[in-house]
Structure 1
């Protein structure tokens, strides 16, 4: 278990090594505008970066699609949060990076050529880290939960991915994504989803941490009914994805981070 010094921060911009947008710019991806617990490492103020994941539109203005808390030490996300919508979209994995994490100036995600060559990969994963590793780039916000081409493209950034066992990625976790999509599509008028990973001890490439567990939670709204939620967690070895109560999932995360971890802050 990692020994991290963490505290709760709500809607406060991170001390940043670059101009990475804080969650104050994209509260629409969180229930009640409040993000899940934002971690802080008091020994490294730049470790956890708040990213409002965006692409530039035709007018060179940022269009936001979801939010990610990114761990620049482990080079994987802590979680990605999004509002659920789904439609059939043709997949195109271009695999962007977040240039501003490594000293680039591009406002949104882009190619690694937007990062000064000497800085590439200092604080985030690159495609080469996955080459011959035996691991998939496992989406946290999955393509299967998108509804437009631009949203689909925005999920294929390495700040929204962690090394994932290919059998688990294409097996049990894929089944979870499909089952939850069907549930949310038919049972909810609106829903928010947060998906994250618990890092393990193994690394690939240049210090990219392999996930030990994948976890996810949703908050479902239906008319005037009280919102309801569910949590899921599965080991990244093609083990079974288990449904758990929200308090149980938050307890697991709190134990790992050694501080209270809240996903929906009691909204669900």
Structure 2
């Protein structure tokens, strides 16, 4: 697989309008409470936002479902991390945004009407960016890996999606999601998954970068501790998903991101 330089990650300057929740408020979505590497931009300290993805409950209190590192310059996530559970949940795509990224005051994800009109889309993707683009909204935390209605609803936020070529999204990558779900349900008492993207050189809409690669890794636990882990990345030159070891995946991602990158920080 050809590796792309760290230059993939540069884009236009971003405006910092809000402070979003840090990962310290949702460590339950990481193995041992330790998050993957957080990317940094020495020219923009506010470029990469740590989001504890939430919906407001009936008492207007945040309920957290997973964690996302979001690239506000490329307007796509770097990765989303979650604890794996699966049950058959009927899909309902009602796409949200993260109002706090663009100066809104809502505590959790919501509609773009929760963002001041002049700020909409400054630091994140909007539905209109995908309209007529020919690309799918590719979930990082997929609906297929959810187990409750609220968890399913929480995955349909544009901070958990990147432009993905439709045949890959609905073909090889969907098969990966199904195969991993079957494996984790059969062999694990508990499992954590991190799924991310590497941006390419193309963009859609107002500067939303198309994902060049999708990647994922899981860490599976049994009664005696960690049982199994694996990594995946694609598409390769044949449009397929490659299975690799976690350390090999981390080596590939270190090359692509241009810094030492770890998914599970040596725990798996």
* TM more than 0.5: yes
> 1:198-226 CA distances to partner (integer Å, 9 max, x unpaired)?
10000000000000000000000011144
4+ residue segments displaced more than 4 Å: none
Q: How does 1:158-237 map to 2 (within 5 A)?
A: 158-235=158-235
Alignment-derived partner of residue 243 in structure 1:
243
Matched with 2:147 is 147
> Does the 8 Å contact 1:17/1:46 carry over to 2?
no
Please, which of 6, 9, 12 is the counterpart of residue 2 of structure 1?
Answer: 6
Q: Which residue of 2 aligns with 1:120?
A: 120
State how 1:68-107 maps to structure 2 within 5 Å. Answer: 68-107=68-107
The alpha carbon displacement at 1:236 in A equals 7.9
CA distance in 1, matches of 2:63, 2:223: 28
Distance in 1 of aligned mates of 2:47 and 2:160: 16
Whether the aligned pair in 1 keeps the contact of 2:144 and 2:178 (CA below 8 Å) is yes
- Rounded Cα–Cα distance in structure 2 between residues aligned with 1:225 and 1:33: 15
> Contact 1:214–1:236 (CA<8 Å) still a contact in 2?
no
* Equivalent pair of 2:198/2:257 in contact (CA under 8 Å): no
- Contact 2:8–2:201 (8 Å) recurs in 1: no
Tell me, yes or no, if the aligned pair for 2:196 and 2:214 is still in contact at 8 Å: yes
Paired residue for 1:28?
Answer: 28
1:86-132 superposed Cα distances (whole Å, 9 cap, x missing partner): 00001000000000000000000000000000000000000000000
RMSD of equivalent CA atoms: 1.6
d(CA) in 2 for partners of 1:237, 1:167:
14
Secondary structure of residue in 2 paired with 1:227 = strand
CA-to-aligned-CA distance 1:144-194 (integer Å, 9 cap, x gap): 000000000000000000000111111000000000000001100000000
Q: What is the rounded CA distance, in whole Å, between the counterparts of 2:93 and 2:36 in structure 1? A: 27
Q: Secondary structure at the match of 1:256?
A: helix
> Is 1:252 matched with 2:252?
yes
Q: In the TM superposition, what is the alpha-carbon distance from 1:38 to its structure 2 partner? A: 0.6
Counterparts of 1:60 and 1:257, CA distance in 2: 38
Q: Distance in 1 between matches of 2:106 and 2:168?
A: 34
Question: Structure 1 stretch 254-263 or stretch 206-215: which is displaced more?
Answer: 254-263
Is residue 217–residue 231 contact of structure 2 (8 Å, CA) maintained in 1?
A: yes
SS of the aligned residue for 2:6 comes to coil
Query: 2:162 aligns to what SS in structure 1?
Result: strand
Quickly say closer, same or farther: Cα 1:263–1:75, change in 2 above 3 A. same
Q: Which runs of 5+ in 2 are unaligned?
A: 10-15
Shift of 1:258: 1.7
TM (normalized to structure 2)?
A: 0.94
Q: Which runs of 5+ in 1 are unaligned?
A: 6-15
Are 1:57 and 2:57 matched, yes or no?
Answer: yes
Alpha-carbon distance, 1:139 to partner? 0.1
Q: Do structure 1's residue 110 and structure 2's residue 110 form an aligned pair?
A: yes
